[in-house]
A and B are shown apart, each in its own frame.
Chain A
Amino acid sequence: DTAVSQTPKYLVTQMGNDKSIKCEQNLGHDTMYWYKQDSKKFLKIMFSYNNKELIINETVPNRFSPKSPDKAHLNLHINSLELGDSAVYFCASSPYPTQRTEAFFGQGTRLTVV
């Protein structure tokens, strides 16, 4: 059973389109995250949700909007896609954060904007 699953794995789309990436975790975790990984493998946190409530919203364009219908799901919607949005997007989850808590990652969604 996949602990953190994202769909789709690959997404190719044209500039200006709107797209969504879905994420689900079956670990019973309270906290979920979206990360962006650029071509140099640098990881940047975008959003963090705890029990469906937004707790971190880093400086990302407001074209990116997370939606958490329940604590097992955290979807990422992106409006008006730009070339610079091309990256790998990772969903992750963790138990209610403590200093000993690690995050569990999905397989990633490789977004290519053409």
Chain B
Amino acid sequence: GDSVTQMEGPVTLSEEAFLTINCTYTATGYPSLFWYVQYPGEGLQLLLKATKADDKGSNKGFEATYRKETTSFHLEKGSVQVSDSAVYFCALSDSNYQLIWGAGTKLIIKP
């Protein structure tokens, strides 16, 4: 079946560092891809999405590009802030239109 694999956390960075959180997927057909963020004590919020190959989703300085050839959707940010500390989830919408979730990656940003 379809699946999503994220890099294990926690990922610990200093403020203003460059961030990459890896996400790869296996899917039949052409899924849509999503990144969600969960801040401490809160629910999940959509961060960005991409619906077809080579699309780039972006929001709040975060970007991810839908790479069909490498089945990847890596999340990047050029300069992280302490306020970016959260758990990040990669997900895909499968052929049955259900969301398949990665395990989540905890990001810790130190001042």
Which residues of A does B touch, CB under 8 Å? 4, 40-43, 45, 48, 56, 90, 92, 97-108
Distance of A95 from chain B, by nearest CB (Å): 11
Within 8 A of A (CB), among B65-106: 87, 89, 93, 97-99, 101, 103-104, 106
Ordered by A's residue number, 24 sampled pairs between the chains whose C-beta atoms are within 8 Å are A40-B103, A41-B87, A41-B104, A42-B103, A42-B104, A43-B44, A43-B101, A45-B98, A97-B97, A99-B30, A99-B32, A99-B51, A99-B93, A99-B97, A100-B32, A100-B49, A100-B51, A101-B97, A103-B46, A105-B43, A106-B43, A107-B42, A107-B43, A108-B43
Q: Which size class do B's interface residues fall under?
A: 20 to 34
Interface of chain A, main secondary structure: loop
Rounded to whole angstroms, the CA-CA distance of A13 and B93 in the bound complex is: 35
> Which residues on B sit within 8 Å (CB–CB) of A104?
46
Distance of B2 from chain A, by nearest CB (Å): 12
> Which residues on A sit within 8 Å (CB–CB) of B101?
43
> Which residues on B sit within 8 Å (CB–CB) of A40?
103
Distance of B66 from chain A, by nearest CB (Å): 12
Rounded to whole angstroms, the CA-CA distance of A108 and B98 in the bound complex is: 20
Q: Which residue of B lies closest to A43 (CB)?
A: B101
> Which residues on B sit within 8 Å (CB–CB) of A99?
30-32, 51, 93, 97
Rounded to whole angstroms, the CA-CA distance of A56 and B93 in the bound complex is: 15
